[in-house]
Each structure stands twice: as C-alpha cells, then as structure tokens.
Amino acid sequence: MEIEIPNSGLSKKIGAFPILFLLTRCFTVFCEQSILFFIPIYIYTITNKTATSGLSFIMEWLPSLILIPYAGVLLDKCKVKNSYFTIDFIRGIVVSLLFVFIYFKLNWLFVSSCSSILAIMSALSFVCQEKVLASKFSGNKFVKYQMLLQVFE
C-alpha cells in the first residue's frame, strides 16, 4: 500500500503489519470512544438528572487520568503480547457486561462502573500501543508510524 505524504511529493510503501495495526487501532479507538461518549448521555436518559450524568462522566475519566502516569510502569512488567491480549480480553468482557446492564436496564452505577473500567483499559491500551511502536520500529520508521497513527486516531 502506498501513502502519499502531503506537501512533500513523496509516497512511501507501508508493510502489511503497520497497516493492519493502524486500521485495527483506529477501529477500536473509534468504537471505544463512542461507547465512552454515549454512556453519560444514556445515564442522563434513564435518570433525567444532569448531576448523575456528570458523576458518571467523572467516574469514567478520573481513574484513567490518574492511571496514565503509572501505566508504563505496570506494562513494563509484562510482555507486550500478553498485555494486549489481557487488555482486549477485559475490554470484551466489559463491553458484554455493558450490553447486559443496558439491556436489562440495571442501576446506572453498574453501567458507570463498566465505563470506568473501559476507560482504564483504554489508557492502558494507548500506553501499550506506544510500547509496541517503540519496540517494533526505530528511527524514522518510528516517527512515520507514530505520525500515521495520530492521524488515524
């Protein structure tokens, strides 16, 4: 696959792994961020209270903001492949639980707790992604793929 770099007159060939990694990452980030965006709106619709919606938003984002500085230390203790598998496995379980909680219209705290776990897994996933890029590519390739990933996201 060739990528045209704007204002440079260059086109670069990109291998199968980076394209698959970039597209998969773009898709999962889009889906996950959509879920995290709609959870406070859903909670507002079932409670009719903006305070509850705001509380769910805080429950969703505060743990991940606190965890991000420590995520690198946590992920350095595990292999990248195991980290990605574990994070994605947990995210799959949490999304399934969200579906069940929303389908059966359970208490908003269950839904908000799941979105909090999902946001934490998202933060860990972003740090794990940086680790993959740094370990797989070096020099100009690292910069190129990092730039492409930021554009996709």
Answer yes or no: pTM beyond 0.75: yes
For position 12, what pLDDT does the model report?
53
Examine the pLDDT at 30 and tell me if it is beyond 60. Answer: yes
What residue spans of the chain are helical by DSSP H? 16-47, 50-76, 80-103, 108-136, 139-152
Examine the pLDDT at 100 and tell me if it is beyond 80. Answer: yes
Provide the percentage of residues in the chain whose pLDDT is more than 90.
Answer: 37
Examine the pLDDT at 5 and tell me if it is beyond 50. Answer: no
Examine the pLDDT at 148 and tell me if it is beyond 90. Answer: no
> Where residue 48 falls among pLDDT bands split at 50, 70, 90?
very high
| Alpha-carbon span 145 to 147, nearest angstrom | 5
Query: Residues 54-87, buried b or exposed e (16+ Cβ, 10 A)?
Result: ebbbebbbeebeebeeebeeebeeeebeebbeeb
For position 116, what pLDDT does the model report?
93
Residue type at 38? Answer: F
Instruction: Go through the chain and tell me how many residues it has.
Output: 153
Q: In the structure encoding, which two tokens stand for residue 116, read together?
A: 């909090």
Q: What is the mean pLDDT of residues 36-61?
A: 93
Q: Which of 69-78, 116-125, 129-138 has the lowest mean pLDDT?
A: 129-138
